[in-house]
Amino acid sequence: MTPQIQSEGEFKGWQYWPEEPFESHVGPFYRTVDQEGVIGAFRAEHKHMNAGGVVHGGCLMSFADFMLFSIAWDAFEDGSMGVTMTMNTEFLEGAREGALVTSRGEVTRMGKSTIFVRGMIYSDDRPVMSYSGSIRRFTPRA
């Protein structure tokens, strides 16, 4: 999959994947790289909220899954693909509507077929969820 560049708005210049129907529906989620590494983000909108007035846990988990691959993106430059094998999450606090939700993380180990990633999600710089997971890397069959 080839990322597209957002051409306008708050995330102008950031990458996103419009051919990911679920992420486009639940997000959209964006990715860029700065001097500290990969950062992902989205603006918490009404559609992301649960009945309690905070970002729905399923939305945050979807964002964490997006970030697993965003953080490990360089591992797929060879044309390989990946699927999430495991993902662990810990909710720390809620994110409110209008908040800038961001994430950073790191690859903790990269093997031939398995990549391990961990990260943290923030709401306006407050930690709201930690996550870790593993990705199974494979070469698509022709």
* pLDDT tens per residue, range 12-70: 999 998 878 888 888 899 999 999 999 999 999 999 999 999 999 999 999 999 999 99
DSSP state of 65: H
Please check whether residue 16 is in contact with residue 30, taking contact to mean a CB–CB distance below 8 angstroms: yes
Domain count along the chain: 1
Which residues constitute the domain of residue 88? 4-138
Residue 41 belongs to a domain with what CATH number? 3.10.129.10
Please check whether residue 135 is in contact with residue 70, taking contact to mean a CB–CB distance below 8 angstroms: no
* pTM, entire model: 0.93
Q: 53 or 80, which is more confident?
A: 53
DSSP state of 73: G
DSSP state of 49: B
Whether the pLDDT of residue 142 is over 80: the answer is no
Residue entry with tokens 């909108």: 45
